[in-house]
Structure 1
Amino acid sequence: MLPTPSTSHVCFDTIYEPAEDSYLFLNTLSSAIETAWLSRRFNDSGDNSSKPCSIPNYSPQPLVVEVGIGSGVVLAFVAANAIHIFGRKDILTLGTDVNSNACRATRQTILDAISESQKHELGNPVAEMSVGPFFLSSLTADLCTPLRPGSVDVLIFNPPYVPTPELPDMPSPEVEDSAPVNSSRSKFEHESHLLSLSYAGGKLGMETTNRLIESIPDVLNPARGVAYVLLCAQNNPDEVRSRIAGWGLGWIAEIVGSSGAKAGWERSEPSPPSSPSAPPAASASATASSPSAIRLLPSFVLWFWSIIDE
């Protein structure tokens, strides 16, 4: 079992604390089926017309982006265990969150996890001969707004999925810089507002998730991109799946993980388990000129959305 990154340095007054949904990501991304699929996808030479001629079977470094990073535990896990998950160590990691406290916490979570993993690499020839993983930054930003089109190889999103009457207001830099310290009530309201950004999803818990889904065709690498998105039963995951299929060009959504357990306010609908003898149907390599992949998590089901090679 791979170790969970430490978040002992994180103050959870304003940041989402790792919970069952977080651990579903860790378990799914490190599962035998998923690591085999990701290793094939990101170690295949594919179309290497632009590869450095001195590097045989060259496959560019994967850019892994987590949107809504929170404590950083998921992205830190991916970075620290890159060899196990991707079959290569040189991945690039980047995170975004509207909560600047989360961005600061994530930086330490990831750097600590990478440092800890490097202590255990002695004697591993693959690790010793490789460079990375690399942590680029944690950006205070709304969803995918700072990302270049077609740049993301792996997108991870554990959204605010709890149905609420409305979405909390987005924090502004001015408000962040002038956090209240005079009144205990105003301090509580400020902290509660920041924390609500991590769980309050508006109508059907899908208002933020829908915005993210709409951006997926733009930000994913068209040749090999894949997105992992978590949904709970109240988010109508079957409707989301149908919507993705409606994009055409081979886009599909597949379940790749499920908790099937209580998660506080809801119980997930059981989902069909993945066959242990074969990878998900969507795990065929993508065409070089088409949209990419997605995998989606209802609460908890992890799905995969992808373009299949005809």
Structure 2
Amino acid sequence: MLPTPDTSHVSYSRVYEPAEDSFLILDTLSSASETAFLQERFPSTSPAPLVLEVGSGSGVVVGFVNAHARALFGHRFLLTCGVDLNGFACRATVQTVRRAEDSCPGGHGMYLGSWTGDLVGAVRPNEVDVLVFNPPYVPTPEMPRRPEAFEDGAEPAWDGESYLLSLSQNRPEDVVARIAAMGGGWRADVVGSSGKTAGWEKLCVLRIWRDG
């Protein structure tokens, strides 16, 4: 099991504390099936993939991916970054990533930094190779049930992919069907699950990708 980044420096009165949802993403990304997928998708002979975490919070997820680049992707040629609306979260992410890098001196990728922003508005279309998003996933009248992350051209690169955490109440099976209905080679599948009720939330991780 790959070690989880240290977040003891984070003030949880200002930043979301890592919980079951964050750890499910880490477990999913480091599973044998997903590391095999990532290593086949982004071999060392390809250009360095760009990994963006949207809503980085404490930085535990992007810190994990960056620190364990070699273990997850099979090589260190990886670029990572994060974005969050919360400036405190961005600063916490920088510290988390740096600490995690220090613990894996021979295996980490290149962290480009974090910025304060709304979703991926500051990123040019088709620039992100792997997008990771743990959204506010409890449905409310103000929060739509379907993901909006791919509208307005904010999709990953042609051969890129996204990991999206979802709640059973968000009807992930509907998301899978909607993605498939988009055509153009888009696919989605559940690649990680809590397998049990975490409190009252049953969580899963969707991988969304496009076949060439």
TM-score range for the pair, normalised by the shorter chain length? over 0.9
2:77 is the alignment partner of 1:90:
yes
**Mind listing any 5+ residue stretches in structure 1 that lack a counterpart?**
45-57, 122-126, 167-201, 269-298
2:113 is the alignment partner of 1:210:
no
* 8 Å contact from structure 2 (residues 67, 101) kept in 1: yes
**Rounded Cα–Cα distance in structure 1 between residues aligned with 2:211 and 2:78:** 24
Q: What is residue 112 of structure 1 aligned with on the other side?
A: 99
2:99 is the alignment partner of 1:99:
no
**Rounded Cα–Cα distance in structure 1 between residues aligned with 2:123 and 2:210:** 21
The residue correspondences of 1:266-305 to structure 2 (distance < 5 A) are 266=201, 268=202, 299=203, 301-305=204-208
* 8 Å contact from structure 1 (residues 148, 219) kept in 2: no
Which aligned runs of 4 or more in structure 1 are off by greater than 6 angstroms? none
- 2:156 pairs, out of 217, 220, 235, with 220
Percent identity (aligned): 50
* 8 Å contact from structure 1 (residues 67, 96) kept in 2: yes
Q: What is residue 156 of structure 1 aligned with on the other side?
A: 132
The residue correspondences of 1:1-310 to structure 2 (distance < 5 A) are 1-43=1-43, 58-118=45-105, 121=106, 133-166=109-142, 202-203=143-144, 206=145, 210-214=147-151, 218-222=154-158, 224-266=159-201, 268=202, 299=203, 301-309=204-212
**Rounded Cα–Cα distance in structure 2 between residues aligned with 1:307 and 1:135:** 25
Q: CA RMSD in A?
A: 1.6
* 8 Å contact from structure 2 (residues 39, 74) kept in 1: yes
Aligned AA (2:184): L
Task: Give the deviation of 1:165 after TM superposition.
Answer: 4.3
* 8 Å contact from structure 2 (residues 51, 78) kept in 1: yes
Aligned AA (2:151): E
* 8 Å contact from structure 1 (residues 15, 71) kept in 2: yes
**Mind listing any 5+ residue stretches in structure 2 that lack a counterpart?**
none
* 8 Å contact from structure 1 (residues 144, 219) kept in 2: no
**Rounded Cα–Cα distance in structure 2 between residues aligned with 1:250 and 1:225:** 12
Larger radius of gyration between Structure 1 and Structure 2:
1
**Rounded Cα–Cα distance in structure 2 between residues aligned with 1:210 and 1:303:** 11
Task: Give the deviation of 1:14 after TM superposition.
Answer: 2.0
State the number of aligned residues. Answer: 212
Task: Give the deviation of 1:133 after TM superposition.
Answer: 1.4
Q: What is residue 176 of structure 1 aligned with on the other side?
A: none
**Rounded Cα–Cα distance in structure 2 between residues aligned with 1:100 and 1:248:** 37
Higher strand share: 2
Task: Give the deviation of 1:246 after TM superposition.
Answer: 1.3
Question: Structure 1, residues 185-243: CA drift from partner, whole Å, max 9, x if none?
Answer: xxxxxxxxxxxxxxxxx25xx3xx6222435x643111x20100011011111111111
**Normalized against structure 2, the TM-score is what?**
0.94
Determine helix, strand or coil for the equivalent of 1:219: coil
Task: Give the deviation of 1:138 after TM superposition.
Answer: 0.7
**Normalized against structure 1, the TM-score is what?**
0.65
**Rounded Cα–Cα distance in structure 2 between residues aligned with 1:213 and 1:80:** 27
